[in-house]
Amino acid sequence: MTNKSPRHCLVYIFLALLLIIIFTVAIPPFFRYVLGGEKIVNTHEYKWIKSDQPARDDFSIYKKWIVKISYADSFLKVIYINLKNLPFLIKDYFFFADIGYKRYFDVTDEHFSVSVSVDNIDLKVLKKLIEELNVKHVLVRVPYYKGKVFSHVDKEKIEKGIIYLAKNRIDVLVSIIQSREAVNDMISWRNHVKEVFDAFTPYCRNFIIGHAPNRGKWGIWDFGLNEYKSLFISARDAADEYDGIKLLGPSVIDFEWQYMTAILDVMRPDDIDVVNSLLYVDRRGAPENKQTGFDISDKITLIYAVANKYSKGIPLWITEVNWPLKGQEGYSPAAGGESEEDQASYLVRYNTLVACSGFVERIYWWQLIAKGYGLIDNTDGVLRRRPAFYAFKTLKSQLTGSTYLSKLSDGNYYVFTFKKGEEFIYIMWTTKGEVEMTFPKEGKVLGRDGRNMGYSKKVIIGKDPVYVRIRKY
């Protein structure tokens, strides 16, 4: 019996290795190349829809499974990479969780940034709206023009718009977005990237390379491991021909840190200058709501730990976030949605929670003008400022130039303290019900959207954030 047991173990190990080889080396390529999985994704018609994104695939169940199994080896690699890195991420997560919200820092213009479209609006009007918000940093998408999905894009208008904003001392972050055609034609992609660099490097220094590699509808199907890596390295090699360019990646969308971990693990050291995330949390409603046990503070901490695994102290930017609106079917990027009032409150709460963690340098709202989710509604060509516009404007005006001091919370009420000149500024809200807050002296109270609510020592707070300004002496 003693002699058989080790033999049996070896047999089991051999069978396990054989199964792994079959599922990673044999089956996926067979489905990809013989049964046509790659052909399915390459010949799929990627359609642009009214919510400013490609439509989800409409594959039959048979085709869906062909595609899933075709890229199963990539998914298994994602699992392996995460298991390999998990002990380090757990250690770093708890380290950063211990210092989050406990460090003083200066709140700057960078914490309050927006995305804009420059090809469908009078540029002078756009400039006035940006100035009304007093925003200094904007993001503009520059898609891969040579693909069918972006055939609606006006290349000349985008180029003119970016240069116009940059010449008016507005910092423009350029987001270069791929399509499936770009993935399959690296020479064309590199030429496109060089064309973008040639046009904008006299005015812009920061470029996002690629978009949502964890979503097949944007043209990447292997979870970003090889296809995104190839896109980014091609752009990195092109960028090395220019002075002072910084490249951002990997642009993973939603709270899917496992894909960020996997992509950063396969990237070359120092390829990425700034880690960015499209950290949407709208499907959970309020930003404080939990997803797999993580609220927005926990999510930011974990994502920062992932970024630091790639490069210690690397900057982290949130380059997309919004809350889609109810009643905007077709124009909303996600099902469901919130009321305009809740959207405005969630914007303030999200930006405050994320910025005050001390881990994020910039946050971009997607976007300034959009029917289904923007700060401004453009239905029928009429520009109507939503409550979120005024909430954003008030948040920025109150906190820019201040120093963050502290966070106080019991999980329901939140109180953040800042110092600005000779005043302390408090921003407060609850996740449910109302709470009375009492201060040692009278302060000026402002509503979420900037409304003057008089002076008081006692303030009733609810889900809509309020500000209290109290002079030090």
Residue 455, domain member (yes or no): yes
314: nearest Cα among 322, 304, 325, 300: 304
Do 315 and 419 lie in one domain? The reply is: no
Distances in whole angstroms, Cα of residue 78 to Cα of each of 28, 29, 85, 266: 15, 17, 11, 10
Percentage of the chain exceeding pLDDT 90: 88
Name the nearest CA neighbour of 357 among 294, 263, 311: 294
Q: Does position 204 have pLDDT exceeding 60, yes or no?
A: yes
pLDDT of residue 1: 42
Whether 168 maps to a domain, the answer reads yes
* Residue 81 in domain: no
Domain count, the chain: 3
If asked whether residues 393 and 417 sit together in one domain, one would say no
Whether residues 369 and 289 fall in one domain: yes
Assess whether 227 and 247 both reside in one domain.
Answer: yes
Residue 366 and residue 427 in one domain: no
Q: Which of 158, 88, 168 is nearest to 128 (CA)?
A: 168
In a domain, 92, yes or no: yes
Joined together, the tokens standing for residue 177 give 């977005």
Is 373 a member of any domain?
A: yes
Contact 170, 137 (CB under 8 A): yes
Q: For residues 410 and 394, state if they share a domain.
A: no
Task: Name which residue leads in pLDDT, 14 or 237.
Answer: 237
Round the CA-based radius of gyration of the chain to a whole number and report it: 24
Which of 16, 41, 76 marks a domain boundary? 76
Domain boundary (335, 364, 398) is at 398
Alpha helices, H only, 146-279: 155-167, 180-184, 186-200, 227-239, 257-266
Does some domain include residue 21?
yes
Is the domain of 365 the same as that of 437? no
242 and 339 in a single domain? The answer is yes
- Mean pLDDT over the full length of the chain: 94
Q: Which amino acid is at 128?
A: K
Residue 2: pLDDT band (50, 70, 90) is: very low
- Let me know if residue 235 belongs to a domain: yes
- The token duo for 414 is 């939140």
**Same structural domain, 394 and 375:** yes
Do 170 and 309 fall into the same domain? yes
Q: Any idea what the CATH number is for the domain that residue 422 is in?
A: 2.60.40.1180
**Do 472 and 426 touch, CB atoms closer than 8 A?**
no
* Structural domain boundaries, residue 450: 405-471
Do 443 and 315 share a domain, yes or no?
A: no
Mean pLDDT for the stretch of residues 36-54: 94
Q: Which of 58, 76, 94 is the last residue of a domain?
A: 76
pLDDT per position as a tens digit, 125-174: 999 999 999 999 999 999 998 888 998 899 999 999 999 999 999 999 99
Nearest to 183 by CA among 159, 157, 149, 154: 149
Is the C-alpha dihedral spanning 290, 252, 27, 62 positive or negative?
positive
pTM score > 0.85 for this model? yes
- Domain check: are 446 and 463 in the same one? yes
Give domain status of residue 179, yes or no. yes
Q: Look at residue 327 and tell me whether its pLDDT is greater than 50.
A: yes
Query: Are 394 and 427 contacting, i.e. CB atoms less than 8 angstroms apart?
Result: no
